[in-house]
Chains A and B, each alone.
Chain A
Amino acid sequence: GAVVSQHPSWVICKSGTSVKIECRSLDFQATTMFWYRQFPKQSLMLMATSNEGSKATYEQGVEKDKFLINHASLTLSTLTVTSAHPEDSSFYICSALGGTGVTRGYTFGSGTRLTVV
């Protein structure tokens, strides 16, 4: 079945530094990828939608300059948290949309736990 690899699974960084999270679709091409943020024991909040080769569409309230999303190929999207602060600590999950017909669907990565100290 469709697999999405998200890396790293966890990362600790110092306040003020930047962190890049990768989301790769391993066995299918993903024209669209979604990035979510999940706080402890809460639901997933969509941050942005990225389409290959074009600028990401950010949800209201999400700082596009802080959360940089790049979707340069059909198998890779990256989320860079710039100048991270403790309040950016969260669980980030990507989702890739791929397949055709009955196989079309969303595949989620296993998530990245970001801790900013």
Chain B
Amino acid sequence: AQSVTQPDIHITVSEGASLELRCNYSYGATPYLFWYVQSPGQGLQLLLKYFSGDTLVQGIKGFEAEFKRSQSSFNLRKPSVHWSDAAEYFCAVGAPGGYNKLIFGAGTRLAVHP
């Protein structure tokens, strides 16, 4: 069955520290991969996406993610976290070959200490 796992429900980092949010997926083929951010009571904003090609993807707000086929992972990273990055982060997968429905992970809530 298709699924997305975000092992970390909650992460706390200090401002200026580096960040890595984990995402593992189970899919028959390499799916389309997405990372979204959600602020409280708001919709989702796309940070970055991967379809094919270069496995290191650059996104907005200084985020990047690396696709590792051997590990079925698509981890999100940021070298230096800002207080404004505190939010909920969702990894999502979609069927390859087109834009189809997305399956979301459970989300990781990021808290940033000053």
Contacts and interface: CB of A to CB of B under 8 A. Distances in A.
B44 interface: yes
A49 to B, nearest CB: 6
A39 to B, nearest CB: 11
Interface string A100-114: 000011101111010
- Residue among B41, B49, B101, B105 with the highest chain A CB neighbour number at 10 A: B101
A113 B43 contact: no
A109 B46 CA distance: 12
Q: Is the interface of B mostly helix, strand, loop or mixed?
A: strand
B42 to A, nearest CB: 5
Interface in A40-80: 41-46, 49
Contact residues of A: prevailing secondary structure:
strand
Interface residues of A, number: 23
B43 A108 contact: yes
A41 B109 contact: yes
B57 interface: no
Given A41-B109, A43-B105, A44-B104, A106 B99 contact: yes
A113 B107 contact: no
Interface string B35-46: 010000111111
B106 interface: yes
Interface of A: 4, 6, 32, 34, 41-46, 49, 91, 93, 95, 97, 104-106, 108-111, 113
9 contacts: A6-B43, A42-B106, A43-B107, A93-B43, A95-B44, A106-B102, A109-B43, A111-B41, A111-B43
Top 8 nearest A-B pairs (CB, nearest first) are A108-B43, A108-B44, A110-B43, A43-B104, A44-B104, A43-B106, A109-B43, A111-B43
